[in-house]
Chain A
């Protein structure tokens, strides 16, 4: 605990010499799976993200158990059978905006960005690239993106019985609003 406090104090001192990092604790991340058999949708409203405007570094972290489905049984299967969330409770992204100089973090506007980094799901890490936007509005900043994830790439096993009900490629959406730390 003491080590953690010391670490925090040193980080704060270090950060005071940098531009303020932006933090989001209620990031909205949701995904869709569309098949002729079934449409599946789940929402996570507690994603955490840190964005450093000076370097373009961007990180996301989220809890798998925080994904909410309309149908209770879908949430159970998602956690127990596909994501094994008792073993792997989180998913994360660690990367950066490839073109941070295209974004004027001090001027209101909507900027097109590309983000590149490592996405870790089900304890498997893969490099990903995603396009998105950053909207600057006064003191707040909102990052939005839409990209696709292939469950098979992350060793997420879909049993043949339900193969027809779950899309091979899942559409993921991100909407995160940051404030100064």
Chain B
């Protein structure tokens, strides 16, 4: 009799733990940067850009949603109340790679135009430039 009750209690506790784990997973918050994720590619900004310029469909297939560490020269830094962007572009190029940081992930005054940076983020696609989101400095 006593053993049966203990088994029922054990079952209920395990069920509650399982429910808690599922609840935590379902409502987990999005990361603001990709810093804790495993890197899929290490690339130069110009190489990444060229792949999108040459064949957007195959570049999308290869890079969308992937974690990329991009190395490039900062052409400009822009920021507003929501985010900070580093524009990685070669002087003679018409396009570049936009690296978007959460406002708290990067202090814009610490980055100077002309410096080379390594940025880790998730590739979301190509508009006028390649766009990398959830960025953090490497």
- Which residues does A use to contact B, with CB under 8 Å? 1, 4-5, 8, 23, 25-26, 28, 43, 45-46, 48, 61-63, 65-66, 68-73, 75, 85-86, 89-90
Given A1-B53, A89-B60: A70 and B30 within 8 A (CB)? Answer: yes
A62 nearest in chain B by CB position: B127
Residue among B26, B30, B31, B94 with the highest chain A CB neighbour number at 10 A: B30
B123 nearest in chain A by CB position: A65
Q: A23-B128, A46-B124, A61-B127 are in contact. List 16 more A-B contacts (CB 8 A).
A: A25-B98, A26-B78, A26-B80, A26-B83, A28-B82, A45-B82, A46-B131, A65-B64, A68-B30, A70-B30, A71-B27, A73-B26, A73-B28, A75-B30, A85-B64, A90-B127
Q: Is the interface of B mostly helix, strand, loop or mixed?
A: mixed
What are 30 pairs between A and B in contact, CB < 8 Å? Answer: A5-B94, A26-B83, A26-B85, A28-B82, A43-B82, A45-B100, A46-B124, A46-B131, A48-B127, A48-B128, A61-B127, A63-B125, A63-B127, A65-B65, A65-B125, A65-B133, A66-B124, A66-B131, A69-B30, A70-B29, A71-B27, A71-B29, A72-B29, A73-B26, A73-B27, A73-B28, A75-B30, A85-B64, A86-B64, A89-B60
A5 nearest in chain B by CB position: B94
Smallest distance from the beta carbon of B13 to chain A beta carbons, Å?
A: 26
Contacts of B128 in A (CB 8 A): 23, 25, 48
Are B26 and A46 touching (Cβ within 8 A)?
A: no
Chain B interface size range? 20 to 34
- Does B129 touch A at the CB level, under 8 Å? yes
8 Å CB contact of A72 from B30, B124, B133: B30
Query: Which 8 A-B pairs rank lowest in CB-CB distance, beginning with the nearest?
Result: A65-B124, A63-B125, A48-B127, A66-B124, A72-B30, A63-B124, A89-B125, A46-B131
- Does B110 touch A at the CB level, under 8 Å? no
A68 nearest in chain B by CB position: B30
Smallest distance from the beta carbon of A98 to chain B beta carbons, Å?
A: 25
Are B29 and A46 touching (Cβ within 8 A)?
A: no
Smallest distance from the beta carbon of A123 to chain B beta carbons, Å?
A: 14
Per the bound structure, the CA–CA distance linking A25 and B95 in Å amounts to: 12
Per the bound structure, the CA–CA distance linking A85 and B65 in Å amounts to: 10
Smallest distance from the beta carbon of A52 to chain B beta carbons, Å?
A: 15
Q: Which of B52-68 contact A (CB under 8 A)?
A: 53-54, 60, 64-65
Proximity bits, B107-120, A CB within 8 Å = 1, else 0: 00000000000000
